[in-house]
Structure 1
């Protein structure tokens, strides 16, 4: 990615930003949709459960009504009691009683009620002669135990297989069973009445209330025995009693229950007058899967939008990068004058400004290259002249050496001494490889110069050096003092004059700068001469002094250089300011 093209980087950055935006929007919508779908599904299941609860309660109320009608019908009790306890009875009358009771009981079998039955004592003649009368011995002992201690209250049984008398048909039923006690002894059971309801009718209601694939709606009694379910096999595998126990206080409302590392959403409702509980259990995964299907549709809807956005991003990234690419090409081929002229500076955005800056830079580079070319020619000329000038010192030294030998041969020591000082002077001037020298070296140089000049002026020039020893090692530009001393000698005294001239050289440190003063008591200068001494033109004879001033300023900056003070007849003082260098 680091070495990828600018266009690729634009596309990746813009597309990445778009993808992040899409992802944030998607996850926000996904979370809201998940919450909305789960809420809707729970609300739908609540309504379905409420409706199923109403239907089941309606069925149980019909059973309860049939049981109450039979229980509180005293004619049935009196007829049955007379037939059992009277020794002398008319068989025909007994048959009519049996027939009337049977018809009454059959009239109660409305709706889904499949059987209304009385379990009569053994001495009842018509027991086991129809599906409405059966012997007490046929009653499930578990029901008798369940009814013990409950008086005359009705008891709902768990589902069981009921074989219909006479027909032999087997049905899975739940029954409301009630014990009828003897009037003279309430502890004794006279008979048992029972109203049965098929389990299938309850399960059918629950199936309509269940709209899930892996969930289940079921009803369990107070002993956590399964009464009916929308999916029998699934209800058994879910262990209904587990969810009933997890429910705690039985408060209604959806909540999460974890079982076997899977999370379920469950809700529970209590049915009236039965002690039964209706429970809806749905795996959380299924609820999320329903929401996920909605979100999958959103993803497929977003894909075309993302495709269009990618094309737009690619187009605009190309338009941006192409301008920079063209400018980059022009800059990489800047030596080609034709390419340089093709730089576009429109429109006036960042790339346009970059193009204008590039054009200006090209112009300045061209000027600098031209100056460098011209400077190169000048340097070559200077180097050639320097090579030529190297011949002159050797010739000069050889000539001075020849003069010195001639002076010795002719017994002229003064001429020999002068020649030796002159040779020493030029060796100092022509010293190579050093731009700066010590102040001590400069002093030696001017001392030699003054001695040479005193041969001309008969020793009338007096040089005084008042410089502390610790400053003698400080560095300064070479050939700084000699032109100033020469200027003092040339303009301060003449060979025809009888007078003398004193030149004093002083030095001190001041704020990190080296201050050197050269003072003479010569003729001095007028104000006009002072104004022109540090200016150079074709008529100025003080070129060497100006050269010193210019050299110092170029090396150390403005504020450094020479400063002249002079008055006619009072001499001249030159102050040299340079940086202190060890």
Structure 2
């Protein structure tokens, strides 16, 4: 099919549109399926983590309560109360049997309590300065307690104080990461007085053991904190990337209204799962990489993409068949139009079906018939136009040579003082110059009247003053546009076939020009012999004799302006003739180069 290069055919457009709809529908289904799958996967994995964290919180609560029970046993032990009172009062300057006995009892109490598997060490900071107060393993002087924690314990009013993970040194030269519970040992006899401060240490490994039971992320982290203060944390093998202070800041800023708020840390998004520990306001925050949870949904997305591609491939076959079916009639129509463009008119198209395409085929057949008729008409008009242009061309042969010759004749006549010859040559030169009009098709009313005046000047000399010519025209119409060589052939016809046929061969020609709405009307009136009405009706169809010039002018006007314009002839024998010319009224363009066919 002879389609223009680079143009996309209707069949291709239909097929692409059909496939685009399939691709769009498949993509939307796949996209929403992926979103739904991602949501379900996130909910399932999130619920799994939450259940594991709930169990971890229960286990942590159990261990913390055990430590608290140990501290209660220390506070409620009457032997310990009595020993600490004696230690505060002092044993004198020399060790006594009583001090040694108290030391043995004190160590027995501490070692019995340290048998708890969740407890690592009990440190007792005493108020006195007995010898055993410098034991430095379980018993310490109050001065050995960190001043800040000493202050906090003093201001606690008997409340439990938990210290987050830190390194504590133990004999012999061992350091362990521990979490500690600090409490005042209150004197029962004076509740405002403290006998000692007890610190119960738990190794950080206790928490690690709890979280190891959680099926946790390979690239995440767990943080246990109290009132925004970190207690301890457990990280994966990639945990070195976590800066605890930065992570705690992100955790505090997380949007708690979301089920699993997302926080960004060092360019990576993490789901945050929170779990309250039912003990002293502690909380667990688990950070799980988003991509790790969504990895399964990515697989679902890949399978959805494969299914979508398969659907598109399967839909291509019916798309091709359907587009071929729908465009068959149009392709046939386009083929005939291409052949018509090449000049192969051929016959009409066989109309098939009863749809819009068959309607186009029927309209095409009607159009071809009409175009064939118009081609014949245009061809005939072209022949007429060529004849008119040839006549105009013949009148323009060697205009410069003619002008120069006439100019030479004029100056020769001037030298011999032959004024009639000067006037004749000057009028003839102006006649030809205005008639040729520099090869332009349009002229103004003023120039056309000058052309007639030049013609009449020549005729006046020729016929010894027997001819008279008058112009009646509004000065506002002189600038209107018209086709050249319209008035002079009519005036010449009036002279030759009207006035010259009278016995005295004398007469008058009047030219009137006036507007008629959007038209410009010219009346050429002579007082010649006139003709009958039958002769007047045949005058514009006569291609020889008197009517040849009028017929030529009439054809030119209709060729240029259309069938509604042209000449009218009104005549009466022995009275004269009126030739009326009707043209469109339009202002004259100075350059005069626009085409008459615009």
| TM-score of the two chains, using structure 2 as the length reference | 0.59
Distance (Å, rounded) in 1 between the aligned partners of 2:540 and 2:569: 19
Q: Aligned partners of 1:541, 1:88: CA distance in 2, in Å?
A: 164
After the TM superposition, which residues 258-407 of structure 1 pair with which residues of structure 2 at under 5 Å, given as runs? Answer: 258-266=264-272, 271=277, 273-274=279-280, 276-286=282-292, 289=295, 292-334=298-340, 340-341=346-347, 343-349=349-355, 351-367=357-373
Counterpart selection for 1:519 from 494, 502, 527 = 527
8 Å CA contact retained: 1:560, 1:578: yes
Q: CA deviation at 1:69?
A: 4.2
Match of 2:536 among 526, 533, 537: 533
Residue 154 (structure 1) shift: 4.3
2:41/2:296 contact within 8 Å kept: yes
The match for 2:485 is 475
Tell whether 2:57 aligns with 1:53: yes
C-alpha deviation, 1:517, in angstroms: 0.3
- Alignment check: 8 A CA contact 1:534 1:546 kept: no
2:211 corresponds to which of 206, 210, 218: 206
Residue ranges of structure 1 left out of the alignment (5+ in a row): 129-133, 387-427, 452-461, 494-498
Answer yes or no: is the 8 Å Cα contact 2:262–2:269 preserved in 1.
yes
Q: TM-score, normalised by structure 1?
A: 0.60
Deviation for aligned residue 1:305: 2.5
Work out which of the residue numbers 562, 565, 570 in structure 2 matches 1:564.
Answer: 570
Contact 2:84 2:195 in 1 (8 A): no
2:72 is equivalent to residue 65 of structure 1: no
Task: Give 2:149's aligned residue.
Answer: 146
- Aligned-partner Cα distance in 2 for 1:541–1:19: 74
> Aligned match of 2:452 in 439, 442, 445?
439
Residue segments in structure 2 that go unaligned for 5+ positions in a row: 392-431, 443-447, 593-598
Q: Report the CA distance between 1:562 and its aligned residue.
A: 2.8
* Alpha-carbon distance in 1 for matches of 2:97, 2:78: 22
Whole-angstrom CA distance in 1 between matches of 2:253 and 2:337: 82
In the superposition, relative to structure 1, how do residues 578 and 244 fare at CA in structure 2: closer, same or farther (>3 Å)?
A: closer
Distance 1:449 1:270, change over 3 A: same
* More deviation, 325-334/368-377: 368-377
Matched residues in 2 for 1:378 and 1:509: separation? 28
Matched position secondary structure for 1:346:
coil
Structure 1 pair 201–348 and aligned structure 2 pair: CA distance change class (3 A): farther
Alpha-carbon distance, 1:450 to partner:
8.2
Say whether residues 1:180 and 2:177 are aligned partners: no
3-state SS, counterpart of residue 146 of structure 1: helix
In the aligned structure 2, how far is the partner of 1:274 from the partner of 1:205?
A: 18
In the TM superposition, residue 534 of structure 1 has moved relative to its aligned partner by: 0.5
Shift of 1:14: 5.1
| Cα offset, 1:219, TM superposition | 1.6
Task: Please state whether the residue corresponding to 1:279 is helix, strand or coil.
Answer: strand
Q: Which moved more, 1:255-264 or 1:52-61?
A: 255-264
Instruction: Tell whether the 8 Å contact from 2:525 to 2:576 is kept in structure 1 after alignment.
Output: no
Q: In the alignment, what sits opposite 1:548? A: 550
Whether the 8 Å contact between 1:265 and 1:283 is mirrored in structure 2 is yes
**2:508 corresponds to 1:504:** yes
Give distance in 2, aligned partners of 1:260 and 1:21: 38
Q: 1:478-537 CA deviation, whole Å, 9 max, x = no partner?
A: 6535655666579x87xxxxx8786432113223443210124x6x77xxx536730489
Q: For 1:467, what is the secondary structure of its paired residue?
A: strand
Name the structure, 1 or 2, with higher relative contact order (CA <8 Å, separation 6+): 2
**CA distance in structure 1 between the aligned counterparts of 2:382 and 2:190, rounded to whole angstroms:** 142
Give the whole-Å Cα distance in 1 for the aligned partners of 2:159 and 2:385.
130
Contact 1:143 1:157 in 2 (8 A): no
What's the CA shift for 1:552? 1.8
- Any conservation in 1 of the 2:75–2:186 contact (CA below 8 Å)? no
Equivalent residues of 2:557, 2:565 under 8 A apart: no
Aligned CA RMSD, in angstroms, stands at 6.3
Question: Cα gap change, 1:289/1:546 in structure 2, threshold over 3 Å: closer, same or farther?
Answer: same
**Corresponding position of 1:243:** 247
Deviation (angstroms), 1:71: 2.9
Q: Is the 8 A contact 2:221 2:233 kept in 1?
A: no
After the TM superposition, which of the residue ranges 80-89 and 45-54 deviates more from structure 2? 80-89
Determine if contact 1:210/1:216 at 8 Å carries over to the other structure: no
SS for the counterpart of 2:365 is helix
